Every structure is written in C-alpha cells, then in structure tokens.
Amino acid sequence: MNSYEVIIFDWDGTLMNSVPKIVSSVRDAVRTLGWQTLSDIEIREVIGLGLPEAFAQLFPQAGVAEREQLRAYYAEHFSQQNQTPSPLFEGVEPVLAQLKKQNYQLAVATGKSRRGLDRVWQEVDIAHYFMTSRCADESRSKPHPQMILEILDELKLLPNQAVVVGDTEFDMEMAQRAGVDRIGVSYGAHAKERLLKYLPVACLDHISELMPLLNNRSIPL
C-alpha cells in the first residue's frame, strides 16, 4: 500500500447514507411533473453524476428547460419536503478523526452542488475535517477527472500521493482517469462487481476497514 498524503472521499453513498433519500426525491420530482415513474434501479444508476448529467441520462428526450425544472423540483423535495433519513454511515466520524490524527489531508469530490454540500455539512457538522472540496456545479461532473486534478493542484500534490474512496463506477473511473489509486465501498449505490472493473486497490464492506488498509493490513477485494 502506498503512503498517501490526501484521501479524497465521495459523499453520497460513501460517507452519508443518502441514497434512499436521493432515490425518493427524484421520484417525487418526476411525479410532480407528471412524468413516467422510474424504478429505484434506474435512479441508482446515475447517482454520482452532477444533476444535469444525471437527468440528461434518465430523460434524454426532455429539453434543457424541462430538465432544469426537474432539477428545481428535486432540490425542493430533497432539501425541504422529503423526510427520508440520511445519516452519516456508522463509524464515519471516528474514521475521519483518526485519519486527521495520523496527518492525512482529507477532501471531498461530489456530484452534489456546492449549496447542497454546504447544507449537509452544516447539518452533520463535519466540514472541519476536510482541507478542500469540489462539487459538480463548480467543476466537470464525474467521471471526468477535473475535480481530482483541481484538488491535487490546490494541495500541490502528485497523483501517486492521493487515493479516491467512492461507491460508484463514476468515482472509480474519475480516479483512474486522473492517475490516482482508488478504493471502492460495497455498501453504496453501485454493486461491487461494477467497482472491481476499475481495479481498485481494495473494496470495503464498512468504512471502518479503511484504517487497517491504510496501515498496510490487507483488505480483500
């Protein structure tokens, strides 16, 4: 295992158990517009992308203005109306605290908007663990590597000094295209088999397995 300087986390489905809320909020927004209902699987397929890219994939026949209306309804449902719990995964904060104690720099690269990330950071009060972050509305959406490259540039680090931790193939492809190692987590939006295609150094079943892995103890794929 390499000695990394920065660990770049995805947010939804990796640190926060928000996939059920995302799925139900998309469904509510689609219902508000009177569009055809989507299955949970169809919605989970696009989690990790920026909202414009996700909705373009789900509704290629819709125009830009229609998809922007869908985005606005989604944001309203997610932030104000949808009551589905979205807590941090068990063990996340102790892991972040231990990583900081061991002098790792921490960052977030997320498909959320900046407004959305700032809101959930305020709710769960863990923003202080992170040196920097990039969101899909201020950079290129995953799987483009721009978010990772911008974080590395800001922290003055090389690709071999970083590792990305994420739950979707978009996270894995983004890291691979940036020349950065990647660690999958099997408990999020995409199945483990999809993550393994991108040759992660490990695939974790629980976030608590990250510390043993970084301390050079093997975690199976």
Residues found in the chain: 221
As beta bridge partners, residue 183 has 165, 202
For CA atoms 166, 172, 174, 179, give the dihedral sign.
positive
Could you tell me the pLDDT band of residue 85, with boundaries at 50, 70 and 90? confident
Tokens of 3: 């000695």
On the question of pLDDT at 181 being above 90, the answer is yes
Q: Which pLDDT value is given to residue 217?
A: 52
Q: Mind telling me the catalytic residues?
A: 10, 12
Q: Give me the phi and psi of 198, to 5 degrees please.
A: -100, 15
Q: Which pLDDT value is given to residue 7?
A: 97
Lowest mean pLDDT among 37-46, 86-95, 179-188: 37-46
Which helix (H) or strand (E) segment holds residue 181: the answer is strand 181-185
Could you tell me the pLDDT band of residue 220, with boundaries at 50, 70 and 90? low
Q: List pLDDT tens digits, range 89-121.
A: 999 999 999 999 999 999 999 999 999 999 999
Residue extent(s) of CATH 1.10.150.240 domains in the chain: 19-81
Q: Which pLDDT value is given to residue 2?
A: 54
Q: Which pLDDT value is given to residue 3?
A: 80
**What's the rounded mean pLDDT across residues 121-137?**
95
CB atoms within 10 A of CB 188: 26
CA atoms within 13 A on the CB side of 220: 0
What percent of the chain has pLDDT above 70? Answer: 97
Specify whether the CB–CB gap between 22 and 42 falls below 8 A: no
pTM of the model: 0.91
On the question of pLDDT at 136 being above 60, the answer is yes
- Pairwise CA distance, residues 109 & 107, whole Å: 7
Please choose, from the candidates 48, 52, 24, the residue with its C-alpha nearest in 3D space to the C-alpha of residue 38.
24
Q: Give me the phi and psi of 23, to 5 degrees please.
A: -60, -50
**What's the rounded mean pLDDT across residues 143-158?**
98
Residue extent(s) of CATH 3.40.50.1000 domains in the chain: 6-18+87-214
- Bigger pLDDT: 83 or 68? 68
Q: Which pLDDT value is given to residue 82?
A: 76
The CATH number of 19-81, from 3.50.50.60, 1.10.150.240, 3.40.50.720, 3.30.70.890, is 1.10.150.240
Q: What is the fold of 6-18+87-214?
A: Rossmann fold (3.40.50)
Specify whether the CB–CB gap between 187 and 206 falls below 8 A: yes
